[in-house]
Amino acid sequence: MPTTATDSARTARKSTKETPSIQSLDRGIQILELVGRSALPVSLGHLAAVLEIDRSSAFRLATTLKRRGFLANPSAGKDYILGPSVWRLSRQYDWSKMLATVAHEHLKALAVNTNETAHLAVREGRKALFIDHSTTPHVIAISGQTGELVPLYCTSHGKALLADFDEQSLGALFGDKPLQAWTRNTVLTTAKLARHCEEIRVRGYATDESEFLDGVRCIAAPIRDRAGLVIASIGISAPVARFPAEREKEFAGHVTAAALQIGELIGAQHKE
Amino acid sequence: MPTTATDSARTARKSTKETPSIQSLDRGIQILELVGRSALPVSLGHLAAVLEIDRSSAFRLATTLKRRGFLANPSAGKDYILGPSVWRLSRQYDWSKMLATVAHEHLKALAVNTNETAHLAVREGRKALFIDHSTTPHVIAISGQTGELVPLYCTSHGKALLADFDEQSLGALFGDKPLQAWTRNTVLTTAKLARHCEEIRVRGYATDESEFLDGVRCIAAPIRDRAGLVIASIGISAPVARFPAEREKEFAGHVTAAALQIGELIGAQHKE
DNA sequence: TAGAGCTATTGCATAATATGCAACAGTCGG
DNA sequence: CCGACTGTTGCATATTATGCAATAGCTCTA
């Protein structure tokens, strides 16, 4: 079995270090990934061909997956699609926990690199929810409360999360209620907000020039999944004194890099 | 290995008939299910205990799963939570396809039992989308176009999908635009619609008394996942001539039973 | 209708693979 | 500093997954 040797060699150099992977489980997962990736139902032959294993093996793996509800047969015939169990699993789970987990090290790195407080946020209705943060030992620090809800339209995280919204969607989201002015800089119209969003899409990051809290500047970048959808945001906050305009580019670099890395982690997929 | 013998015996008598299940893949899936079900991170020892396998085996299975991103370790330590891959899989997938698949046989059975056209629908914004249908050989039949979009507020499917909405949420959904009157019976206010919804929650099914198309009566029931959320609807349509009031109870029984069965299928989970 | 060519499915012998055991390492709490 | 616990690795064994080959079901076409 020459394939096996090559395979384990590739696997070995990977992440954890070198605990051997269980072959049949790994193959089962590959089947799930393959079927999940394909828009059309996948035939048994196709599975076997891609994994380079015998049809009978593919059949038995697929059958096991089907018994557990991870695969299903479209009404028509015998090709495979993902089953209800995958859905169930993802539904009953609190994903912000997972996000926080995989992103935590990057968050910490960002805090260290910039020497400022870093936050991780997701959208929750008309608010941004901080699901994790990492501080640095500063006398004056932006208090980062994980679990805190802040408005979308006047924070860097909020605006990063809105990056792909146009004026119409913004209107649909915020309704006709006027936006509350938190500081002199708060953006108050969806029209202006839409222009901000456009800029965010172009630059890759959002700013908050004391639009929510006086004396605080923030930068945040949208985290996108492999399909390009914004699923979260990562950024830093600092008192204006420590965040002069000339540092923006430097900070932005760190923030967008972190966002990209996390996005790739979420969308990560092993070869073969 | 006495555990193994007992285990395979249990597995063998299961569903599809008797193609043997692949042990290690099956165990890996059990781990996923277990971790997915648990609110708290799961320790290696716990995994081994529940599956009744050795700690080392559990470790190797979990490691394989982790390599593929199906498990992850919370920032803290070495316990397991579900990983990003599960999310990815569920995200990039069109679930209405899967729903149609698992529900198709029930849909067909419903059409046969009632001898009328049966439909399966999901909510798509402010519309109900028919994702599958099954007809019976009638001269006069309600044409069931899979892929068709119909209004939510004046169809049995639509109202079933709105079952858990109160007047406020209805207002948020439909805005202040007045509802279009399709027939003399169309419900035109969110207040009245909210009362319908309440009735649907109590009775378990929604009706359409020619509120969208004259001369057509429909019944539909919400399909709920294990958490109780409405995810789809199933129902039948018939010309008024074939659908006298006295048959409503009979039809409703069929429809709600089908909805329940599909919901259980979606939420299905293997023992052990 | 028969048959060719396809795909799914099952039987079986073999060897590779997953497994349990046992030893090791790392961590926490006293 | 020691003991109890959990995670991790080595290794020998036999269980288990695998590939091959044969069968069964299906579709298309001649």
Give one DSSP letter per residue of chain B, joined into a string. -HHHHHHHHHHHTSSSSSPPPPHHHHHHHHHHHHHHH-SS-B-HHHHHHHHT--HHHHHHHHHHHHHTTSEE--SSSS-BEE-HHHHHHHHTS-HHHHHHHHHHHHHHHHHHHHTSEEEEEEEETTEEEEEEEE----SS-----TT-EEESTTSHHHHHHTTT--HHHHHHHHTTSPPP--STT----HHHHHHHHHHHHHHS-EEEESSSSTTEEEEEEEEE-TTS-EEEEEEEEEEGGG--GGGHHHHHHHHHHHHHHHHHHHT-----
CB < 8 Å from A in window 182-201 of B: none
- What pLDDT shows up at residue B128? 94
CB < 8 Å from B in window 19-38 of A: 19-29, 32-33, 36-37
| Interchain CB distance below 8 Å, B69 and A269 | yes
Which of A96-105, A247-256, B70-79 is predicted with the least confidence, judged by mean pLDDT? B70-79
Nearest CA in chain A to B98: A83
Which of A158-162, B165-169, B262-266 is predicted with the least confidence, judged by mean pLDDT? B262-266
Chain D positions under 7 Å from a protein CB? 5-10, 14-21
Query: Is some CB atom of chain B closer than 8 A to the CB atom of A89?
Result: yes
- What pLDDT shows up at residue A270? 44
Closest C-alpha among B139, B96, B102, B99 to residue B117: B139
What is the C-alpha to C-alpha distance for residues A62 and A39, in angstroms, rounded to an integer? 18
Which of A134-138, B80-84, B119-123, B163-167 is predicted with the least confidence, judged by mean pLDDT? A134-138
Q: Which nucleotide is nearest to B4 (CA to C1')?
A: D15
Write out pLDDT tens, residues A68-79.
Answer: 989 988 766 689
| Chain A residues within an 8 Å CB radius of B88 | 36, 225-226, 266-267, 269
Write out pLDDT tens, residues A37-83.
Answer: 888 899 999 999 999 999 999 999 999 999 998 998 876 668 999 98
> Which fold is adopted by the domain B17-88?
Arc Repressor Mutant, subunit A (1.10.10)
Which of A120-124, A144-148, A155-159, A177-181 is predicted with the least confidence, judged by mean pLDDT? A144-148
- What pLDDT shows up at residue B32? 95
Selected from 3.30.300.30, 3.40.50.1100, 1.10.10.60, 1.10.10.10, the CATH number assigned to the domain covering A2-89 reads: 1.10.10.10
B46 CA from C13 C1′ (Å): 38
B57 touches strand D (CB under 7 A): no
| Chain A residues within an 8 Å CB radius of B225 | 88, 91
A60 CA from C15 C1′ (Å): 19
Per-domain residue ranges for chain B? 17-88, 95-266
Write out pLDDT tens, residues B169-188.
Answer: 999 899 877 899 999 999 99
Give CATH superfamily name and number for A95-266. GAF domain (3.30.450.40)
- What pLDDT shows up at residue A91? 80
Percent of chain A with pLDDT over 70: 88
Write out pLDDT tens, residues B41-79.
Answer: 999 999 999 999 999 999 999 999 999 989 988 766 789
